[in-house]
């Protein structure tokens, strides 16, 4: 891309986050993450994940699962998330890690089964499903997050004014309700807290991307 996050932008506020979810076709034998890991260790290559993009949250989460659990997962590439999800729903590929709101309707309809969500705590939209941490992967906390940025040269007083007004809006019950309906947990906080999250994510995912040899598409 022609821009760089650190060079060209300044975080204003952390809007919120939504967990991802590990889903599989109903015919896939494992019903838990522990069972999936056991199968992957016993039969390397039998566990296949559909990928809509090599740099997507689902793809990176799959790579993180491989590294933390020390297993091999075969990734099947597709040209977009929709065809990847259709491949799992159709039983052509075993599983995938997808955004919660995209896959949950298929889980509720019985066309997919959910093994776990990727956030540190259970999702209010799908409280019945355990987290990856509950499954034994103690550092597995992955979410799709939303951050509001401004141009780097935006005056500090403007950034602080925007931050204060947005934090006030984030407390409005209607706003929280609308975001919650989409599975998004509203966060808020200071610009410094937002920047700390961005820097932590860059530091965290860099080694995963490098180890997996992921390249921009």
pLDDT at 191 over 90: yes
End-to-end, the C-alpha distance of the chain in Å comes to 11
Residue 177: predicted pLDDT? 92
Least confident range from 45-49, 138-142, 183-187, 204-208: namely 204-208
Same domain, 54 and 85: yes
Tokens of 217: 């598409």
**122 found inside a domain:** no
Same domain, 51 and 96: yes
Same domain, 110 and 176: no
**134 found inside a domain:** no
Better-predicted residue by pLDDT, 211 or 151: 151
Residue 76: predicted pLDDT? 93
**199 found inside a domain:** yes
**159 found inside a domain:** yes
Domain-terminating residue out of 67, 101, 117: 117
pLDDT 10s digits, 19-30:
999 999 999 999
Residue 105 neighbours by CB distance under 10 Å: 10
pLDDT 10s digits, 78-97:
989 999 999 999 999 999 99
pLDDT at 215 over 80: no
DSSP annotation of 131 reads B
Same domain, 152 and 202: yes
Tokens of 196: 């700390």
Same domain, 103 and 162: no
pLDDT at 214 over 80: no
Is the CB of residue 22 less than 8 Å from the CB of residue 118? yes
CATH number at residue 94: 3.40.190.10
Same domain, 112 and 180: no
Residue 211: predicted pLDDT? 76
Same domain, 203 and 150: yes
> How far apart, in Å, are the Cα atoms of 46 and each of 32, 34, 38, 76, 93?
16, 15, 11, 12, 10
Name the domain count of the chain: 2
pLDDT at 147 over 90: yes
Same domain, 30 and 110: yes
pLDDT band at 205 (very low <50, low <70, confident <90, very high): confident
Same domain, 110 and 61: yes
Phi, psi of 168 (to 5 degrees): -65, -40
Radius of gyration over alpha carbons of the chain, in Å? Answer: 18
pLDDT at 1 over 80: no
Tokens of 39: 């199968």
- CA dist 136 and 185 (Å) reads 24
Give the DSSP H or E segment for 158.
helix 156-169
**138 found inside a domain:** no
pLDDT 10s digits, 39-82:
999 998 889 999 987 777 888 999 999 999 999 999 999 989 99
CATH number at residue 9: 3.40.190.150
Same domain, 101 and 188: no
In 3D space, the residue among 136, 137, 61 whose CA is nearest the CA of residue 99 turns out to be 61
- CA dist 94 and 84 (Å) reads 11
**74 found inside a domain:** yes
Same domain, 110 and 44: yes
Residue 159: predicted pLDDT? 98
Residue 213: predicted pLDDT? 73
Residue 216: predicted pLDDT? 64
**137 found inside a domain:** no
Domain extent, residue 48, equals 20-117
Is the CB of residue 96 less than 8 Å from the CB of residue 113? no
Average pLDDT of every residue of the chain: 92
Same domain, 26 and 73: yes
pLDDT band at 206 (very low <50, low <70, confident <90, very high): confident
**136 found inside a domain:** no
Tokens 């997050």 belong to residue: 145
């Amino acid at each position: 891309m022609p821009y760089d996050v650190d060079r060209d932008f300044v975080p204003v506020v952390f809007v919120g986050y939504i967990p991802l979810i590990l889903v599989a076709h109903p015919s896939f034998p494992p019903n838990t993450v522990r069972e999936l890991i056991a199968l992957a260790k016993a039969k390397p290559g039998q566990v296949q994940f559909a990928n809509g993009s090599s740099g997507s949250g689902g793809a990176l989460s799959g790579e993180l699962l491989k590294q933390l659990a020390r297993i091999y997962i075969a990734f099947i590439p597709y040209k977009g998330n929709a065809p990847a999800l259709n491949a799992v729903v159709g039983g052509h590929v075993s599983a995938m890690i997808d955004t919660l709101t995209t896959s949950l309707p298929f889980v509720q309809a019985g066309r997919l089964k959910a093994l776990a969500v990727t956030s540190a705590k259970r999702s209010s939209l799908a409280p019945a499903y355990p987290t990856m941490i509950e499954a034994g992967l103690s550092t597995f906390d992955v979410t799709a997050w939303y951050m509001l940025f401004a141009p780097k040269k935006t005056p500090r007083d403007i950034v602080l004014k925007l931050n204060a007004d947005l934090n006030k809006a984030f407390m409005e019950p209607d706003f929280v309700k609308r975001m919650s309906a989409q599975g998004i947990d509203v966060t808020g906080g200071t610009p410094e807290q937002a920047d700390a999250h961005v820097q932590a994510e860059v530091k965290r995912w860099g080694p995963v991307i490098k180890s997996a040899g992921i390249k921009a598409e």
